[in-house]
Structure 1
Amino acid sequence: MSRLQKVILTLCMLFTLAVPMTSVLAEDSIDQSSDEVAPKVNAAVELPKMQVILDKIKGQVSSASDESQLAQLNDMALELGENANTLSQNLVPQSQQIDTQLAVLGPAPEAGSGVKETSDVTSKRRQLMAQKSRLDDQIKQANALQNGASVLSSQILNYRRDRLKNQVSLNTGSIVAAKFWQPLYNNPVDGPKIVGFAQDLKQSVQLSFSPGYRLGTALWFIAAVLVMVVGRRYMEEFLAWVSINKLSEGRLRRSFLACAIAITTLLAITLCCNFLALAFARHPDVVDDVRDLVSSLGIQSLLAGLIAGLGRAFLSTRRPSWRLPVINDELAKALKPFPIIIATLVFIFQGLEAFNRAIETSVNTTIFGNGLTAILIGLLCLLMVVRTRRIRRRLEREGHEVERSRIAGLVDIALILTGITILICLVIGYVGLARYLSYEVIWVGILLSTFYFLNALAIDGCQVLFSTNSAPGKLVTRSLNLNEKTLLQLGSLFSGLLKSALIIMLILLLMNGTISSSSPGEILSRIIDFLA
C-alpha cells in the first residue's frame, strides 16, 4: 500500500469517527440548552389561580377607601393581565406543535375507504386531539383573563376619576388653610411620581438630541420659531394687502382683517406648539405618558391660539383705524397684555390638568392645581376691570372723550361679579366651583368674541355681495336679471339667515360646551347632531 493510499484511508477513518462525535456533541448541546430553559408553567393550575385573583380584585375595588388602594389594585390588575398574556403566548407554540404532529398523522380514514391504520396511530391522533382541545380552551381562558384584567383596569381608572370629581366638587377646605398648600412642601404620595415623570421628560429631550435626531430637532425648532415670528407677521401683512387691494371699500375690509388676524394667530401658535412637539417627542423610545401629555398640549394650543388671536383682533393696536369695536387707543394699549396672559394661563393650567391625569395624582394635588387656576383667573378678572377704569379716569381728567357703551359696562359688571364669586368660593372651600367659574368666564368670552367677528363678517359680506355698486352684486344682477330692490332684499335675507345660524350655534355651545371638555371635533359633532 502506497503512502498516498494510507493517508486517504486515515482521513476516511477520521471522518467516519467525526460524524457520530459531531452528532453526540449536538445532542449534548441540545440537552444542555433544554436544561437551561425554564420549566413550563402548568396552565391547568395557574389559570384557576388567576381567575381567583381577578375575582378578589373586583371585590376589593368597591371597598377601597383611598387613592393608594385603588392605585395598588390597578397595578395588580395590569400585572395579572401581563401574566395572562405571557401564559397565552407560551401555550400558542405548543398548540402549533400539536397541529404539526396532527398534520403528519393525517386525517382519520373514512369508513369504506379500505384504508386501515394501526391502533397506535389512531390512539396517538386521539391523544393529540384531546391535547389540542385542552390547549385551545386554556388559550381562550387566558385571553379572557387578559381582557377581563384590562377592562377591570379601565373601570378602576374611571372609578378613580369619578370619585375624584365627586371629592373635588365638595367642600375641600379653604385656600387659607395649610392643607391646601401642603402639596408644595409635603407630598409623599405624588412626589415620586412627579420626579419619575420629570426624568421621563428629561429622557425625551436627551433622545431628541441623540445621533440621527439632532438635525431634525434643530430644523423643527427653527421652523417653530420662524412660523411664530416671521410667518405670522408676513401672513398678516399679506392679508392686509388683500383686504386693501382686492376687497371693496367699507366695513368688509375691517371685519375681514380682524378675522384674518385671529385665524393667523391661531394657526401660528398651533403650528409652533406642534413643531416643538415633533422636535422633542418624535423619538420612538419616548414613553407613552410623555406622548399623551404632548398630544394634549397640542390640542390645548388650539384654545390658547384662539384666545390670543381674538384678543389681538379685538384690540388691533397695530392698526387702530381698522379696529371693529369703538375702543380708545390708550385703553386698547392698556389691555394689550391681557389676551396673551389669559392664553398662557389657560395653556399652562390645562397642561397641568393633563399632567395630573398622566401620572394620576392624588386628590390634594388636583385640588391645589384647580385652586391655583381659579385664584389667578379670578384676580385677573378684577385686575382687568381696575386697569380699564383707571385708564378711563385718567383720560377723562386729561380732557379726552371716552365713549362708554352699555355692553362695556355690562362686561365690567360681569367680570367684577365673577372675580368676587371665584375668590369667595375659594375662601369658603368650594375649589371645584371656583375652577368651573374661572373656566366658564373664559369660555363665554371666547364664544361672544367669535360671534362678534363672524357676525360682522357675515353682515358686511352680504352687504358687499348684494350691493349694486360692487362687482359681485353686478354679476348677480346680470345673471339673475334682478332689480336693485330685489337684490337688497336677498342681501337682507341671507344676512338674517347667517346671523340666525350663528346665534343658534352660540346658544348651543353656551349650553353644552366647556373650555375643558370641548375639542374642535366634539364641537363639530354637537353642531351636526343638533342640526340633524
Structure 2
Amino acid sequence: MPNLLRFLLLLLLTLGSAASPAQDNDQSPPTTAPAATPAPTLDQLGSQLDTVKAALKDNKSDTPLADLRNIALGVQDQARQLATNLAPQMTALQAQLAVLGPVPAKGAPAEAPEVATQRRKLDKAQADLDAQIKQAQLLGQNATQLAAQINGLRNDEFQARLASRTATPFSRTFWADPVRAFPDDMVRFKRLGARFAGAMAQAWQPPNRQPLMWCLVTAALLLVGGRRLLEWLLLLLAARHVPDGHLRRSAMATAVALSAVLTTGLAAQLAYQGLNWNGILDNDLAALATSVVGLVYFAAYVTGLGRALLSVRRPSWRLPALSDLAAQRLHLFPWLLAAAALLFGLL
C-alpha cells in the first residue's frame, strides 16, 4: 500500500511538471512589452550641465541660447524628480532603522551580531542615499542659476540687436513707422475723444451735474489758493520748529514739493471722482483716467521739487550751489519736464 501511494504521488508530480510549460505557453503574451526608458543618472545630469557651461564659455559655439536654456531647465526638472523619487527610499530606510532601535549605550548589553550587521548596512545605505539626494538638489539649484544666467544673456543679446537696428532720430527710417501709423492713430484718437465727450455729456446730466460741479470747484480752489495756503503753513512750521541751517532749507524744500504734490494730485483726483461720480465711465476710460491721475501726481512732484531746489524768489532757501542767474534761466525746466512726462505717459 505505501508503495502504491508513493507511485501515485510520483505520477502526479510528473504530470504536473509536464503540464506547467503548456500552461505557460498558452498564457504567454503574443508580444513583449517595450522596455521603459531608464532615468538619467546624477553623473549624466552633471555632464549635461558641464556641456552647457562649456558652450557658454565658448563664444564660437553654434548652439542657440534658447536650446542651452532648455537643456538647463530639463536638468532642473529631472534632478528635482530624481530627488523626489529617492525620498520614499530614505523614508523606508529610516523606518527600518527605527525598528532596530537606537545603538546600545556603552554600559548596556551588546546587541546581536546579526542586528549590528544589519544596522551597519542600513546606515551605509542611508548615507549613500542622503548623498544622492543632496547631489540631486545641488544639481537642480545649479541648473536654475544657469537658466537664469542664460536668460540674462538672451536679454542682453536681444537689446543689442534692437540697438543695432534702431535708426537715429535724424534719419527718415526713424520716423517712417510713426508716420505710417499716424492715420490709424488719429482714428483711434478720434474714437477715444468721442467716447470721452459722451461721458462728459452724461456727467453733465442732472443726476451727476451737481457732484461734478462741486468737485471741479473744489479742485480749482485747491489749485488757485490751496497750494499757497498749504505751502505757507508748512513753511511757517519749518521756520518755527526746525533749527536754522541746512536742515531748515531741506525742510522748506520738502514743504514746497509736498504742497504741490498734495494739492495738484488731490485736484486731479477730485476731477476724476466728479466725472465718474455714478460710475458712468466704462472700464477703459476709467483705467485711462486713473493713469492720468497718477501721472498728474508725478508731474506735480517734478514741478514742486524743481521749484524747491531752484528757489528763484528765495535764494537763501536754495539747496544747490547755483547763482541767481542760473536759477532764473532754469526756472522753466521743471515745468517742461513735468509736461513732457505727462504727455509721454498719456500717449
TM-score, normalising length: structure 1: 0.33
The structure having more radius of gyration, on CA atoms, is 2
TM-score, normalising length: structure 2: 0.49
